[in-house]
Amino acid sequence: MPKNKVNPAVGGGVGVGVGGGGGWLDSAERTGADLHLELPVGGSRRAALAEALRAAVRDGRLPSGARLPPYRSLAADLGLARNTVADAYAELVAEGWLTARQGSGTRVAERAAPPAPVRRPRPAGAAPAGPVHDLVPGQPDAGSFPRAGWLSAARRALNEAPNEAFGPGDPRGRIELRRALADYLGRARGVRTDPDRIVVSAGFGHALRLLYGGGVLTGPLAVEAYGLSFHRELLDRAGVPHVPLPIDERGADTTALARLPRVRQVLLTAAHQFPTGGPLHRERRSAAVAWARAGGGLILEDDYDGEFRYDRQPIGSLQGLDPERVVHMGSVSKSLSPALRLGWIVLPEDLVDAVLDAKGEREAWVSVPDQLTLAEFIASGGYDRHVRRMRQRYRGRRDRLTAVLAARAPHVSVSGVAAGLHAVLTLPAGTEAVAVAAARAHGVAVEPLSSFRHPAATQVARDGLVIGYATPPDHAYPAALDALCEALASVAG
């Protein structure tokens, strides 16, 4: 029996691969496609094959018009007699499952599509079944992914990649990407590093897992009073205690670190606080670095959307103030796409080996072709061009949001819009829940500001909504803003 074939007499699924002569579909004749057939144990082989083919047609694995292999080829692959396959084909032709024409071979017959499910009309005034307009923060415009530029970079990168790039590799990540990142981060974000101190990750969450889940660092950890609950949950799963730092218009109050004697690490979104939106004031940046130097502390910097600024000069990284006391982490989730799962950790020299040990087996490493493509995309200038283009587009989105709200919802104040991909709408006290319910009723998905609040935070809570203005496609954005304003009318005054 040929290698990797399953004898149907033994039962179980039978994988059929046909390449070279014969084939399943016209394209499959060139590629050697497989079809999985479930042939039960025992009984008539002809009946079993016929039923397996019926099932493949019913569930869509063999669509209308699909060409079946000649019965001699299928008989050889399945270890059946030719007459058995020929009889099964004839039975299915007679039943109308297959057609057989001279010169065209045996194909799946055209079959009527199953009836569409009956949709009951929604009662007048009822809320939509799901959100029509997505204004949840944290996502870029998926339709703006630079497909042509990424494809060109991928072709160049793969054509020029050495053969060893497709071997086991380096747990740090590909040297081409680490070199490109060292250059880009130094030029655009003020990071001071070299390729040997960069470890490629699958994003910020993966970086945090390596540092804490991998045992490189232990808590307790100071975090901002408003931030992503996902990060807090990740720390909880790793058994890391975390305590909140108050947030105001100057960002996190890093002077409070001196009053937390057990804390030796702090996590900050210094360039653009998430979600409240302001940058960390220069005095508080200096205070954080001084605290780390004085007590052997460590600053974890989440640079999640540092490229997107509109009304201010670029704010450099905290890492540039002290590379040995700051771990700088970033990704392309906001600038390109969260689907790429590509990020980086810029480490103090004494943490590199520990992080590499925590990274462990190759299954946790990022795809090498994606790393090579990003390296080429950065080195060729494609990444810079894309960021500049999206900066202009998102600025236009931001401007439209603020103009529409000023005209139609003047009772709502807008903040945190000098940079980034989201805005905070401050609501009248006690109206947040009403606003969220009204948004849902108008088909708008939004996030309440309270959902980002640390459960142990003691500062006075604010009522508000966090609006992601980058998420909707261009054609849907005006309707999303219109629905949002209609919802906000319910909390006027």
413 vs 6, higher pLDDT: 413
Q: Is residue 117's pLDDT more than 60?
A: no
Confidence of residue 36 (pLDDT cuts 50, 70, 90): low
CA distance 288 to 256: 10
Helical (H) or strand (E) element with 36: strand 34-38
- Give the per-residue pLDDT at 318: 94
- What domains does the chain contain, in order, with CATH numbers? 8-108 (1.10.10.10), 133-142+385-491 (3.90.1150.10), 146-384 (3.40.640.10)
User: For 121-146, what is the mean pLDDT?
Assistant: 76
The closest alpha carbon to 54, from 75, 31, 38, belongs to 38
Q: Is residue 429's pLDDT more than 60?
A: yes
- Give the per-residue pLDDT at 459: 84
CA distance 120 to 13: 40
Q: Is residue 492's pLDDT more than 50?
A: yes
Give me the count of residues in the chain: 493
User: For 240-247, what is the mean pLDDT?
Assistant: 95
CA distance 450 to 2: 63
Confidence of residue 73 (pLDDT cuts 50, 70, 90): confident
- Give the tens place of pLDDT for each residue, 75-101: 877 778 889 888 888 888 888 888 888
- Give the per-residue pLDDT at 114: 45
As beta bridge partners, residue 413 has: 426
Residues 6+ apart with CB under 8 A from 201: 207, 210, 329, 331, 343, 344, 345, 366
As beta bridge partners, residue 224 has: 245
What pTM was estimated for this model as a whole? 0.77
Confidence of residue 423 (pLDDT cuts 50, 70, 90): very high
Least confident span in 74-83, 288-297, 469-478 = 74-83
Q: Is residue 287's pLDDT more than 70?
A: yes
Residues 6+ apart with CB under 8 A from 318: 268, 270, 280, 285, 288, 289, 299, 301, 326, 328
- Give the per-residue pLDDT at 110: 83
- Give the per-residue pLDDT at 13: 43
- Give the per-residue pLDDT at 131: 75
Q: Which tokens is 207 given?
A: 């970086």
Q: Is residue 121's pLDDT more than 80?
A: no
- Give the per-residue pLDDT at 23: 35
Q: Is residue 63's pLDDT more than 60?
A: yes
Give the number of C-alpha atoms closer than 13 A to the C-alpha of residue 447, restricted to the C-beta side.
24
Q: Which tokens is 39 given?
A: 């042939």
CA distance 268 to 252: 8
- Give the per-residue pLDDT at 363: 66
Share of the chain above pLDDT 70, in %: 87
The closest alpha carbon to 36, from 17, 60, 59, belongs to 17
- Give the per-residue pLDDT at 25: 36
- Give the per-residue pLDDT at 37: 65
- Give the per-residue pLDDT at 305: 83
Q: Which of 25-29, 118-122, 358-362, 442-446 has the highest mean pLDDT?
A: 442-446
